[in-house]
């Protein structure tokens, strides 16, 4: 299959960057939560005319969050490395995007994929392991479902595997190629297994082939139908 998702995946050390978040409402709180869940030490400056009380509460627990209660000014970009726009003003979002573009800052604009330089993802965490899912903006809901599936199916032991592998990795002698060979040998079992389709795989296949979608369409048609 050709590459249908040209997004470049990377894991940012957000704690090393100065984040500007514009908008302190529901969507602003969602963005802030996503940032702090992953990178709790991040310095975030939040500019907003009003702030949700829940957001104020989160901010009070994080010394590196600064709340500034006023409208956005272009000079706010001076101290930013990366920008999240999450207000209820689409015209403002376009202005922020244009100003950020001039300064070569990367921007995520809530609800407007066309204005985004990067997207957030659904994130699965098992200890040190982190899996990020992108649907190329096609269906964040499928991303969310896939996260739940991965959370259930990835074993808790994975974190221990990573710890053990780090120890082995640090003890291995020899050149790079030999190390890779040894590490591949130790972990061969993880990638092995004969062709087997789990019940979860079967369910995803049923959605893809439409049989579950038919059921879904039926359920939705029942939901939207007004009582006679
Ligand atoms: C492009 C992107 C840009 C970005 O926001 O970064 C974007 C855009 C939009 N989201 C919309 C709606 C919803 N977003 C969610 C949820 C999440 N959305 C996230 C990411 C992204 N959302 C980026 C692409 C990610 C990808 O490539 O898959 C997640 C993964 C990460 C996060 O936000 O932290 C998080 C799940 C986290 C988790 O739980 O695992 C839900 C479901 C829910 O909330 O339960 C809904 C409602 C149901 C639905 O629409 O599917 C709308 C329409 C708004 C409207 O209708 O007005 C747009 C705009 C548009 O599509 O035009
Ligand atoms: N709440 C949700 O889950 C969803 C919201 N949306 C859309 O996303 C947008 C934002 O939604 P919410 O966060 O719920 O709205 P909200 O009204 O809770 O928050 C908007 C925030 O932007 C701030 N703001 C407005 N103008 C500003 C300016 N010039 N400078 C700085 N801050 C400014 C406001 O003070 C407010 O805190 C809306 O357009 C909404 O339709 C779309 C889908 C879901």
Q: Are 43 and 18 in contact (CB under 8 A)?
A: yes
Same domain, 43 and 140: no
Lining ligand 2 with CB less than 6 A are 22-28, 47-50, 71-72, 86-89, 92, 110-111
Containing structural domain, residue 26: 14-120
111 and 131, same domain (yes or no) = no
Residue 215 within a domain:
yes
pLDDT, residue 54, reads 98
**Ligand number nearest to the C-alpha of 72:** 2
Q: For position 190, what pLDDT does the model report?
A: 77
Q: What is the pLDDT of residue 112?
A: 97
Residue nearest to atom 9 of ligand 2 (CA): 88
- Let me know whether 56 and 105 are in one domain: yes
Q: Give the integer Cα–Cα distance in Å for 104 and 222.
A: 49
Cα separation, 167 vs 183, in Å, equals 11
Ligand 1 site-directed mutation target among 140, 142, 146, 147, most atoms within 8 Å of CB: 140
Ligand 2: which residue has its CA nearest to atom 4?
27
* CATH at residue 99: 3.40.50.720
Is the residue at 192 inside a domain? no
Q: Looking at residue 157, what is its pLDDT?
A: 86
Q: Are residues 126 and 116 in the same domain?
A: no
Which residues have C-beta within 8 Å of that of residue 153, sequence separation ≥ 6?
198, 200
Same domain, 35 and 67: yes
Split into its structural domains, the chain has a count of: 4
Task: Assign residue 85 a region (left: φ > 0; alpha: ψ between -120 and 50; beta: otherwise).
Answer: beta
| Global confidence as pTM | 0.88
Find out whether the beta carbon of 127 lies less than 6 Å from any atom of ligand 1.
no
What's the burial of 63, exposed, middle or buried (CB within 10 Å: 0-12/13-18/19+)? exposed
59 & 92 share domain? yes
- Tell me: do 125 and 168 sit in the same domain: no
Domain-located, residue 5: no
Residue 33 CA to residue 27 CA, distance in Å, equals 10
The verdict on 36 and 69 lying in the same domain is yes
Residues 18 and 116 in one domain: yes
Ligand 2 midpoint to CA 142 (Å)? 24
pLDDT attached to residue 78: 98
Asked whether residue 104 is domain-assigned, the answer is yes
> Are both 88 and 138 inside the same structural domain?
no
Mean pLDDT by 10 residues, the chain (228 residues): 92 98 98 98 98 98 97 98 98 98 98 97 94 96 95 88 87 86 81 65 73 65 60
Please tell me the distance from the alpha carbon of residue 132 to that of residue 123, in angstroms, as a whole number. Answer: 5
pLDDT digit string (tens) for 24-51? 999 999 999 999 999 999 999 999 999 9
- Rounded distance from Cα 117 to ligand 1 centre (Å): 15
């Amino acid at each position: 299959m050709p590459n249908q998702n040209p997004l470049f995946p990377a894991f940012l050390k957000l704690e090393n960057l100065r984040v500007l978040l514009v908008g302190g409402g529901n969507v602003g709180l969602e963005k802030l939560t996503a940032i702090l869940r992953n990178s709790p030490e991040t310095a975030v400056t939040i500019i907003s005319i009003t702030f949700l009380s829940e957001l104020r509460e989160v901010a009070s627990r994080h010394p590196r969050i600064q709340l500034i209660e006023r409208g956005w000014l272009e000079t706010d970009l001076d101290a930013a490395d990366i920008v999240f726009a999450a207000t209820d003003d689409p015209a403002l979002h376009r202005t922020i995007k244009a100003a950020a573009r001039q300064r070569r800052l990367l921007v995520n604009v809530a609800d407007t994929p066309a204005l985004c330089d990067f997207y957030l993802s659904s994130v699965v965490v098992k200890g040190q392991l982190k899996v990020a899912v992108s649907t190329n903006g096609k269906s964040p809901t499928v991303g969310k479902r896939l996260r739940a599936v991965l959370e259930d199916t990835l074993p808790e032991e994975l974190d221990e595997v990573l710890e053990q592998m780090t120890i082995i990795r640090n003890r291995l002698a020899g050149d790079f190629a030999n190390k890779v060979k040894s590490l591949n040998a130790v972990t061969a079992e993880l990638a092995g297994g004969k062709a087997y389709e789990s019940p979860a795989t079967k369910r995803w296949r049923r959605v893809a082939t439409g049989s579950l979608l038919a059921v879904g369409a039926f359920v939705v048609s029942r939901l939207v139908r007004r009582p006679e």
